[in-house]
Structure 1
Amino acid sequence: MTLDGAETPALVLDVARFDRNVARLKAHLAHLGVGFRPHVKTAKSIDVARRLFAGDLGPITVSTIAEAEYFAAAGATDVVYAVGLAPKKIARIRALVAQGVDVAVLIDTVEQAQALATTARDGGAMPAVLIEIDCDGHRGGLSPDSATIIEIADILRAGAVEVRGVLTHAGESYACRGGVGLVEAAEGERAAAVAAAMALRRHGHAAPVVSVGSTPTAHFARDLDGVTEVRAGVFMFFDLVMHGIGVCAVDDIAVSVLATVIGHKLEKGWILIDAGWMALSRDRGTQRHPVDQGYGLVCDVDGVPWPDLIVDDASQEHGIIKVRPGSAAALPDLPVGARVRILPNHACATAAQHGAYQVVTTGSRDVVAAWPRMRGW
């Protein structure tokens, strides 16, 4: 099959760009001397995950228990579930541990610690715990100097549950633009996690793991002293948000949505395609960036962008291509039936709309594989 004959809309993965993106981050982390624990919530595919580790499955991060179960069934044995633990989900996590999977869960409340300690009384398999640290006020977690960190750790130790360490995520790095502020965000992330781990150690908790990571800070970190591992997810694909933040070039974006031209409204400057928000997602993550990319940047079928051509609007199954407002660029002559590829704002959200990747390599329209994606929670 080729992209000229594939059903549309379809999710396209340029594996050459993917490999280049992965090699870039792995080399950077190796230079800094820290472990690599990619977040597979973006990929949701065993084929993609194996390529991250040159065929094997190394340590991974997941955002749903369904992901943990899916990757464990494919051979993953070292998993961090990096979303705050709901007590009702402990049983599913324990089932994975009982199968021989090393799972660490994330908590930041006394209630979660008590639920784990209570569950552990029956002597069954239990996950390890990472305590979530808030390094920038973006989401959940405890401040590095919070006394609750020690309280949680003491409850877990009394309940014979392993306190493995701390985890943080510099979500505010997504507010940076053009690379400005990312070095500082990376250092703030590192310092907060290390400070929390040191506090645990002063109170007799080994805390061997100090886990940090977002795609922006992973690439801009200059010193990761005291950190043991870095998590990042969208780095493997990149997207227009990452481009606007200053982490990647447009040419690094490895995923796109293949679509077909289905009509025109030339008096309005419109080209209509068969990819609406069901194919592209509703994510408008570049809306507050200096350059608003609409619902995505439009390329030809070979993945080469047209100047200032974006999906300006979308309904469920229709996309409207227009020249970016204020641009002098011309609307290309795209007849009905022509193929285009749309670079996404947010690769995670766009990929989630599709059941498989159509795998190509840069400059070729040949589809060399179809890699299924999992879904669910």
Structure 2
Amino acid sequence: MRLTDIETPALVLDAAKMRANIDRMNATARRLGVALRPHLKTGKSVEVARAMTEGWSGAVTVSTLKEADEFFAAGCRDILYAVGIASNKLAHAARLTQAGAQLTLILDSVAAAEAVAAFGRETGVRLPVLIEIDSDGHRAGVQPDDAATLDAIARALANGAELAGVMTHGGGSYNSTSADGIAAHAEMERAGAVRAAEHLRAAGHACPTVSVGSTPTALFARDLAGVTELRVGVYVFFDLVMAGLGVCAPEDIAVGVLTSVIGHQAERGQLIVDAGWMALSRDRGTQGQVLDQGYGLVRDAEGGSLDDLVVVAANQEHGIVARRDGGPLDVARFPVGTLLRVLPNHACATAAQHGAYRVVDGSDEITGTWPRFGGWS
């Protein structure tokens, strides 16, 4: 089968580009001297996970317990659930642990630590926990130098759970405007996690794991002294947000949505395609960057560059394609039935709209169909 043989819209994965992206991150982790714990939330696919973990210990990161279930069933044993734990998920976590998974949780409060410890006392299942550190003011976590809170969490965990270390996510790097800015965020991320670990150790608590990670900070980090592992995910596909940060080029993006031209608005210089926000997602992550990519950058069916076309508007099942600058477009160059490929703003969000990848390998020939899953429990 070839791309011309399938119905649109469809999610296309270029395996050659994916492998190149994986090779780049693998080399980065080895250069920095840290273990790699890939984040599997972007792909949500067993085949993608196998490619990301090849050559490493098999330790992975997930963002849902559904992912933990799926990847445990596929052979992953060492799994970090990297979202603050809610009490209503503890029984699910315990089932995974009792089935043989080495499942680690994260939290950032004494209240959450007390809940996990109480569950452990009641059930006899002592769950390992990383304390989440807020290294850059991006989202959740304990301040790196809040030694009192770190100590209190560790003490609460001791009676029914297990403190395994600390983790942080340098999400603030997504707002950087230069390579130096991303590198500064990488150092902020590293230093914050390491300081938090040192506070815990000074208080007499073991802290074997110091886990950091975001794709931009990983690729621009100059030193990861004191860090034990790197958690990264979107690098496997990359996307337009990453391209806007200078982390990759659009040509490195491994996924895109294949779509068909279904109509024209010639007087407006617009094409109508059959990929709306249900196929592309509503993510407008490039809106705040220097180059706004609309709902996605438009390429030809094989991913080759076109004139500066973007999806300028999206309804549920219709996308509107036009020149970025609003200038005239000769719609006759794109007859009804023309296939186009839309590169995503946010690979995780766009892929989440689809149930499978149509896999190609640098051409228009489909070499396989890889299922992907969604949901939370």
User: Match for residue 34 of structure 2?
Assistant: 34
Distance 1:243 1:34, change over 3 A: same
Counterparts of 1:304 and 1:178, CA distance in 2? 27
User: Match for residue 367 of structure 1?
Assistant: 366
Q: CA offset at residue 254 of structure 1?
A: 0.3
User: Match for residue 70 of structure 2?
Assistant: 70
CA contact (8 A) 1:110 1:148 kept: yes
Please say which of residues 97-106 and 319-328 is displaced more in the overlay: 319-328
CA contact (8 A) 1:50 1:56 kept: no
TM-score, normalised to structure 2's length?
A: 0.97
Counterparts of 2:332 and 2:102, CA distance in 1? 53
* Count of aligned pairs: 375
Counterparts of 2:153 and 2:329, CA distance in 1? 58
User: Match for residue 122 of structure 1?
Assistant: 122
CA contact (8 A) 1:323 1:330 kept: no
User: Match for residue 206 of structure 1?
Assistant: 206
User: Match for residue 152 of structure 1?
Assistant: 153
CA contact (8 A) 1:133 1:193 kept: yes
Counterparts of 2:200 and 2:226, CA distance in 1? 14
Letter in 2 for 1:151: A
Letter in 2 for 1:246: G
Counterparts of 2:256 and 2:145, CA distance in 1? 43
Deviations 1:300-324 (A, max 9, x none): 0110121211111110000000001
Q: CA offset at residue 126 of structure 1?
A: 2.8
CA contact (8 A) 1:110 1:151 kept: yes
CA contact (8 A) 2:269 2:327 kept: no
Q: CA offset at residue 262 of structure 1?
A: 0.2
Name the SS of the counterpart of 2:333 in structure 1.
coil
Deviations 1:111-170 (A, max 9, x none): 11111111111352232000000011110001011121110001111x142100000001
Q: CA offset at residue 179 of structure 1?
A: 2.7
Counterparts of 2:305 and 2:294, CA distance in 1? 14
Counterparts of 1:331 and 1:185, CA distance in 2? 44
Q: CA offset at residue 54 of structure 1?
A: 3.0
Distance 1:55 1:44, change over 3 A: farther
Counterparts of 1:57 and 1:350, CA distance in 2? 29
Name the SS of the counterpart of 2:263 in structure 1.
strand
Q: CA RMSD in A?
A: 1.4
Distance 1:12 1:85, change over 3 A: same
Name the SS of the counterpart of 2:81 in structure 1.
strand
Query: What does 1:1-377 align with in structure 2 at a 5 Å threshold?
Result: 1-54=1-54, 58-122=58-122, 124-146=124-146, 147-157=148-158, 159-325=159-325, 333-362=333-362, 364-377=363-376
Q: CA offset at residue 51 of structure 1?
A: 1.2
Counterparts of 1:204 and 1:68, CA distance in 2? 32
Letter in 2 for 1:204: G
Letter in 1 for 2:45: S
Q: CA offset at residue 374 of structure 1?
A: 1.0
Counterparts of 2:331 and 2:194, CA distance in 1? 52
Q: CA offset at residue 187 of structure 1?
A: 0.3
TM-score, normalised to structure 1's length?
A: 0.97
Counterparts of 2:150 and 2:57, CA distance in 1? 32
CA contact (8 A) 2:118 2:160 kept: no
Name the SS of the counterpart of 2:115 in structure 1.
helix
Name the SS of the counterpart of 1:94 in structure 2.
helix
Q: CA offset at residue 46 of structure 1?
A: 0.5
Q: Which runs of 4+ in 1 moved over 4 A?
A: 326-332
Q: CA offset at residue 52 of structure 1?
A: 1.3
- Tell me the percent identity: 54
Distance 1:327 1:264, change over 3 A: closer
CA contact (8 A) 2:120 2:127 kept: no
Counterparts of 2:302 and 2:66, CA distance in 1? 34
Name the SS of the counterpart of 1:305 in structure 2.
coil
Unaligned runs of 5+ in 2: none
CA contact (8 A) 2:308 2:324 kept: yes
Q: CA offset at residue 331 of structure 1?
A: 5.6
Q: CA offset at residue 342 of structure 1?
A: 0.3
Name the SS of the counterpart of 1:18 in structure 2.
helix
CA contact (8 A) 2:65 2:93 kept: yes
Deviations 1:25-50 (A, max 9, x none): 11011011100001000010001101
Counterparts of 2:54 and 2:116, CA distance in 1? 36
CA contact (8 A) 1:68 1:79 kept: yes
Letter in 2 for 1:205: H
Letter in 2 for 1:201: R
Letter in 2 for 1:366: E
Counterparts of 1:223 and 1:57, CA distance in 2? 22
Counterparts of 2:169 and 2:46, CA distance in 1? 24
Q: CA offset at residue 57 of structure 1?
A: 7.4
CA contact (8 A) 1:322 1:331 kept: no
CA contact (8 A) 1:22 1:235 kept: yes
Deviations 1:40-85 (A, max 9, x none): 0001000110111238871100001111111111111000000000
Unaligned runs of 5+ in 1: none
Letter in 1 for 2:370: W
Letter in 2 for 1:35: A
Letter in 2 for 1:270: Q
Q: CA offset at residue 329 of structure 1?
A: 7.6
Name the SS of the counterpart of 2:307 in structure 1.
strand
Distance 1:264 1:331, change over 3 A: closer
